[in-house]
Amino acid sequence: MADPFAVLSATQRHAALQATRSVFGAFAMPIIRALTGGVSGAFVFLIEANGQRFVLRIEGSESPLRNPHQYQSMRLAAEEGIAPRLHYLDVANRVAMMDFVEDRSLEDYPDGSSGLARAIGTIIKKLQSAPLFPSFVDYPEIVNRLWTHVCKTGLFIDGLLDEASSRLVEIRKTYGRRAEHFVSSHNDVLPRNVLFDGERLWLIDWETAYRNDPLVDVATALDNFAQSPELEEILLYAWLGHEPDRPLRDRLAQVRALTRLHYAGVLFSASALGPRDKPDDNLSSPSSAQFERAIRERRLIAGTAETSHVLGKMFLTSFLTGSKPPGLPPMYMR
């Protein structure tokens, strides 16, 4: 039988075997297979033993930008019943084993999109009431570092990104840092990181989790789970317990701009890894409907550098204009 851990380095393989032996015993013979999909670069395996299923997750290569608090955050979230139950955690080797959640489509959530928006607001509220995660770099600084990197990639001709850079400077000047109000935050509440087991939601993939402005998770959730003003109000009410006042709405608009530029930076960083003939001289982007049509007709292929570049432009347009950013195609959803 092929070794399911053959894709791992020697150190990672040893850590994976240590995890399975710790959970199942030295003489157990669990069934192990690799799971595909995802965008984090982690190795993920489904392990079946004694009628139970678990997920073994091994983080990829070390990164200088790695959040050192992700595992403590994940452990706290699991203890609060927000993340799947943890059975094994090796922080040094970046290995975790947790319950496997048999997820169903989010489209199957009871009461449709309104029920899902309400549930997302509720789980964010629960997370923000959890014991505090450790602090990390301030979110505007993370966005700034990422955007500075994008500006140095040579993806675009000189000066083309100046308007966005100037707007980021202005937002950072007026952003009111309120560290005393910071809460436990996932910081990446996208559909790919939300599981529905038929009864309730779970949050997974805690690489970016740390103590943060409570509006960051709300801003990301609004752009991904509330596609109409009515759904936005449902999500906000579930999170807050009452309608937000004008100062909160104004601050939320500012944070939404930051989250949109953050995802533009992530997508442009991915596109910079692909081949290109010359720097781009045009920031025009398709509408969401045009983008979805291009994906359906396979004029754009999910997961390619070209598609990441187009999506990055769409998020950048959203940052500059305040328009709704696009939904992500299936490859980016899991």
Mean pLDDT across 311-323: 96
CA nearest to 189, candidates 132, 235, 233, 231? 235
Query: pLDDT tens for residues 109-125?
Result: 999 999 999 999 999 99
39: pLDDT confidence band, cut at 50, 70 and 90? low
Using an 8 Å Cβ cutoff, are 284 and 320 in contact? no
Q: Which two tokens stand for residue 302?
A: 């999910």
DSSP-derived secondary structure for 126-160 = HHHTSSPPPB-S-HHHHHHHHHHHHHTTT-B-TTT
**Predicted local confidence at residue 302, as pLDDT:** 86
Q: Is the pLDDT of residue 312 over 50?
A: yes
Q: Is the pLDDT of residue 260 over 90?
A: yes
Q: Cα dist. 49→46, 87, 88, 177 in Å? A: 10, 13, 15, 48
Strand pairing class (183-185; 95-99):
unpaired
- H-assigned helices in 211-327: 214-225, 229-240, 246-271, 288-296, 305-321
**Predicted local confidence at residue 143, as pLDDT:** 97
Q: Which residues contact 1 (CB under 8 A, 6 or more apart)?
A: none
**Predicted local confidence at residue 326, as pLDDT:** 83
59: pLDDT confidence band, cut at 50, 70 and 90? confident
Q: List the chain domain ranges.
A: 10-99, 106-332
Mean pLDDT across 227-236: 96
CA nearest to 43, candidates 29, 26, 55, 31? 55
- Percent of the chain whose predicted confidence (pLDDT) is above 90: 79
Q: Is the pLDDT of residue 96 over 70?
A: yes
Q: Which two tokens stand for residue 167?
A: 């707007």
Asked whether the CA dihedral 58, 60, 63, 65 is positive or negative, the reply is: negative
Tell me the CATH number for domain 106-332. 3.90.1200.10
Q: Which two tokens stand for residue 142?
A: 């993370």
Q: Cα dist. 318→184, 238, 314 in Å? A: 27, 25, 6
What is the architecture, at CATH level 2, of domain 10-99? 2-Layer Sandwich (3.30)
Q: Is the pLDDT of residue 283 over 50?
A: yes
**Predicted local confidence at residue 333, as pLDDT:** 43
**Predicted local confidence at residue 51, as pLDDT:** 86
Give the number of other Cβ atoms within 10 Å of residue 65's Cβ.
Answer: 9
Using an 8 Å Cβ cutoff, are 207 and 188 in contact? yes
334: pLDDT confidence band, cut at 50, 70 and 90? very low
Average pLDDT, the chain: 92
Using an 8 Å Cβ cutoff, are 298 and 157 in contact? no
**pTM for the whole structure:** 0.92
Q: Which two tokens stand for residue 241?
A: 């317990």
Is pLDDT larger for residue 274 or for residue 211?
A: 211
Instruction: Tell me whether domains 10-99 and 106-332 share a fold.
Output: no
For tokens 């995660």, the residue is 133
Beta bridge partners of 44: 57
